[in-house]
Amino acid sequence: MIGLEIFNTFILLLLVVAAVTSLWVKDLLVSAVVFGVYSFLMCLLWAEMGAVDVAFTEATVGAGISTVVLVATIFHLRRKSND
């Protein structure tokens, strides 16, 4: 349907922006959080294409667990990435 194509382009645009920002940002914690947004938008894409169970798994695993695990690891490292 016409509506889904419009949403498709917008979501893909947001995905690219979130991915680039997640790599480009200096603070490690913020990159972990922006990575969470990336997987949120990824689930939106899956849901928008109709793959409903994949969206659910991606949401719980990507946004739920991996963000928490990334933040937990950053808790042990220094927050400033030195590259």
Partner 1 sequence: MTEWFAIIMGTCLFVLMIPVIYRICVGPTGFDRILAVNVIGTKTAVLLVIIGTLYDRVEMFVDFALTYALLNFVAAIIVSRYLNRTISLKEMEAREKAKKEAKAS
Residues 6+ apart with CB under 8 A from 44: 11, 55
Give the C-alpha separation, 33 to 43, whole Å. Answer: 16
- The distance of closest approach from Cβ of residue 83 to partner 1 in the complex, given in angstroms and rounded to an integer, is 17
- Tell me if 74 contacts partner 1 by CB under 8 A: yes
State both tokens at 1: 């349907």
State both tokens at 18: 């979130």
Footprint on this chain of partner 1 (rule: CB under 8 A):
1-4, 6-7, 10-11, 14, 17-18, 20-21, 25, 27, 29-30, 33-34, 36-37, 40-41, 43-44, 47-48, 50, 52, 55-56, 59-60, 63-64, 67-68, 71-72, 74-75, 78-80
